[in-house]
Amino acid sequence: MLLLPLVLTVVCIGQWPYILLIVIVTLLAGREYVRMLERKGYHLSLPLLAAFILFWLIEAVWGDGTWLTPGLAGLCLASVMWVLLRRALGPATLYPTVEWALLWAGSVYVGITGSYLLRLRVLPDGLWWVLTALIIIWVGESAAYFVGSRWGRHKMAPSVSPGKSWEGFAGELMSSVLVGLFLGWLWPVLTRQPLALTAAKGALLGGVLSVLTPAGDFFVSMIKREVGVKDTSALIPGHGGMFDRIDSLLWAGFLTWVVVQLLG
């Protein structure tokens, strides 16, 4: 909770502080992804994964598409060379092609979704869309935990995430729609100017995020169960790792960007 005022301040400032924040959290999530898979015997190149993630973020901020294809081709060749070198120097490497695929999968998942947190912020009224998405996620997850722990009886997917219940999901859905509705009304009042974000759009965004972003939480939970860990790391005492903290936010950035594009 102590980090929330700092995060909100950086979001409001935007520009370099915000870019640096997204770079830090995505790289930390990428590092945790690599460390988790090591528990299953997969050894991914952390420098290459970081390069992939940074490529997606740089493309989001400064790219115009010109270097997208050659950049990906270069990173593809570099990752293939890394796998071949590892295999040549260590014949005992059992799953070189799997490691190559996991490297790509992790970089795409964290890097591309993380890049939309940057793309969203630079849109017209991007600050208000980002703030709305963040607050919807935070309030929705808190409501899901409170309702689920108190009244949760019917599990959503016990084989993936035993703690998630349909009652908690209902609490998240209702709170997210209400928070989105309230913030969509509040921001134009505070700024005293018309915004693209309205109460109706905020409510719709709350519904979309509450229905779809839990998949991000489920996906990270699935990885953790497969490798046998409770948290992605112990980076944040009592709250797990960075990947734990941003699993839903990665989805929220892209989904909010889509909503903005569709609604105009």
The alpha carbon of residue 69 and the mean position of all alpha carbons in its chain are separated, in whole angstroms, by 24
What is the pTM assigned to this prediction? 0.91
Mean pLDDT per 10-residue segment, the chain (264 residues): 81 93 96 93 91 92 82 89 82 79 93 94 93 95 90 84 88 96 95 90 96 92 90 81 91 95 85
pLDDT at residue 158, as a whole number: 82
Of 88, 122, 156, the last residue of a domain is: 122
Rounded to 10 degrees, what is the CA torsion of 66, 70, 74, 79?
A: 90
Task: Transcribe 141-179 into DSSP letters.
Answer: HHHHHHHHHHH--SEEETTTEEEEEHHHHHHHHHHHHHH
Q: Are 155 and 131 in the same domain?
A: yes
Q: Which of 36, 256, 225 is nearest to 131 (CA)?
A: 256
Q: Are 43 and 167 in the same domain?
A: no
* Rounded-to-integer distance, Cα 241 and Cα 29, Å: 8
Of 94, 122, 150, the last residue of a domain is: 122
256, amino acid identity: T
Q: Are 98 and 130 in the same domain?
A: no
The alpha carbon of residue 188 and the mean position of all alpha carbons in its chain are separated, in whole angstroms, by 27
Instruction: Print the domain residue range for 168.
Output: 125-264
* Rounded-to-integer distance, Cα 224 and Cα 220, Å: 6
Q: Are 242 and 233 in contact (CB under 8 A)?
A: yes
3-state helix, strand, coil in the chain (%, to 5): 75, 5, 20
Q: Are 102 and 158 in the same domain?
A: no
126, amino acid identity: G
Q: Are 39 and 164 in the same domain?
A: no
Q: Are 115 and 186 in the same domain?
A: no
Q: Are 79 and 174 in the same domain?
A: no
Exposed/middle/buried for 55, CB within 10 Å: 0-12, 13-18, 19+? buried
Total domains present in the chain:
2
3-state secondary structure of 69: helix
Q: Are 137 and 262 in the same domain?
A: yes
Q: Are 30 and 133 in contact (CB under 8 A)?
A: no
Task: Transcribe 95-139 into DSSP letters.
Answer: -HHHHHHHHHHHHHHHHHHHHHHHHHHTSTTHHHHHHHHHHHHHH
Q: Are 93 and 166 in the same domain?
A: no
pLDDT at residue 264, as a whole number: 67
* Rounded-to-integer distance, Cα 219 and Cα 160, Å: 8
Of 98, 122, 146, the last residue of a domain is: 122
In sequence order, the β-bridge partners of residue 165 are: 155
Q: Are 133 and 80 in the same domain?
A: no
Q: Are 84 and 142 in the same domain?
A: no
Q: Are 84 and 144 in the same domain?
A: no
Backbone angles phi, psi at 231, to 5 degrees: -130, 160
